[in-house]
């Protein structure tokens, strides 16, 4: 029993030192709310204008874009694009309740985004209940964020005048950098976010995914301000994912051949 107590005590000490070391790398921001008055006004909610483009207008992302893909990734992308062009069903992450694609997007066709400014941090949230925390307190991307990647990655940022410059790493390798094409390990994104005009937000994203891209590429997207829109939540699990918008069954409902017969009444 004494040996077990010593082991638990040693583990607790090790955890305390590890936590202290991590926290030491994350400077604590002073709660200077007055300084926020110098930042641009990004209040209200924002919708992705790419989804509102008129018919025939080239979009910033999607199947019609030429990406610098490596041969294997390009073949996969083109095969899926053919299915989409023929009116076929292409698997969407949201159909399986996975987080939507992160790279080069905020919100989506049914989702609005908002920005929250607090000392040392910019928080981005949307109606799909995703949250991005961009730390502007001078910290670096910690090593453990690269070792334990997440769908939103780890973001740090700083202000260059009225432009927020954001670096994101530690992005999960299954996250799609191109529709239906996972980016693999080492995804890295640098964003420049600023107001193009009082009601238009411009986001320039430099996206690098060395496992699927021959070189980094830049995608530019625009978002429209809705000053009085109230955010709503989008619950993926509440949707009927078995049937798509055309009324087609998306999953094979054929029972397994070795399924035992149902019990008799």
183 located within any domain: yes
238 located within any domain: no
28 located within any domain: no
Annotate 210-224 with DSSP letters as a single string.
Answer: TTTBSS-EEEEEEEE
Burial grade of 231 (CB within 10 A; 0-12, 13-18, 19 or more): middle
74 located within any domain: yes
99 located within any domain: yes
**Pair of tokens at residue 223:** 């978002």
Tell me the sheet residues that pair with 45.
226
Compute the distance between CA of residue 122 and CA of residue 133 in angstroms, rounded to an integer: 6
Mean of per-residue pLDDT scores for the chain: 79
- Residue-level pLDDT at 24: 46
- Residue-level pLDDT at 83: 82
Compute the distance between CA of residue 180 and CA of residue 87 in angstroms, rounded to an integer: 16
Compute the distance between CA of residue 73 and CA of residue 16 in angstroms, rounded to an integer: 44
250 located within any domain: no
23 located within any domain: no
Specify the pairing of strand 163-169 against strand 176-178.
unpaired
Per-residue pLDDT tens over the stretch 128-154: 778 899 999 999 999 999 999 998 899
How many structural domains are present in the chain?
1
Residue 52 structural domain: 33-228
CATH at 135: 2.40.128.20
- Residue-level pLDDT at 57: 47
43 located within any domain: yes
Per-residue pLDDT tens over the stretch 224-246: 999 999 888 776 555 555 566 66
Per-residue pLDDT tens over the stretch 186-211: 999 999 999 999 999 999 999 999 99
Annotate 161-202 with DSSP letters as a single string.
Answer: TTEEEEEEE-B-TTSEEETTEE--TT-EEEEEEEEEETTEEE
């Amino acid at each position: 029993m004494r040996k077990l107590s010593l082991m638990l005590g040693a583990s607790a000490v090790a955890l305390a030192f590890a936590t202290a070391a991590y926290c030491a790398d994350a400077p604590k921001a002073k709660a200077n709310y007055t300084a926020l008055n110098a930042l641009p006004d990004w209040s209200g909610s924002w919708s992705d204008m790419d989804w509102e483009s008129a018919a025939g207008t080239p979009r910033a992302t999607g199947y019609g874009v030429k990406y610098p893909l490596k041969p294997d990734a390009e073949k996969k992308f083109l095969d899926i694009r053919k299915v989409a062009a023929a009116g076929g069903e292409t698997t969407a992450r949201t159909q399986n309740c996975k987080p939507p694609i992160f790279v080069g997007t905020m919100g989506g066709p049914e989702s609005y985004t908002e920005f929250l400014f607090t000392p040392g941090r910019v928080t981005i949230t949307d109606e799909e209940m995703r949250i991005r925390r961009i730390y502007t307190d001078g910290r670096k991307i910690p090593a453990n964020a690269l070792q334990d990647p997440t769908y939103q990655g780890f973001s740090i940022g700083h202000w260059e005048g009225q432009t927020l410059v954001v670096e994101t790493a530690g992005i999960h390798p299954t996250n799609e950098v191109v529709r239906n094409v996972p980016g693999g390990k080492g995804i890295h994104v640098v964003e420049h976010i600023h107001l193009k005009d009082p009601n238009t937000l411009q986001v320039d994203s430099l996206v690098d995914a060395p496992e699927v891209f021959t070189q980094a590429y830049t995608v530019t997207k625009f978002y429209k301000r809705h000053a009085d829109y109230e955010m709503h939540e989008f619950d993926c699990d509440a949707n009927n994912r078995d049937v798509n918008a055309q009324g087609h069954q998306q999953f094979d409902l054929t029972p397994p051949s070795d399924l035992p017969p149902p019990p008799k009444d």
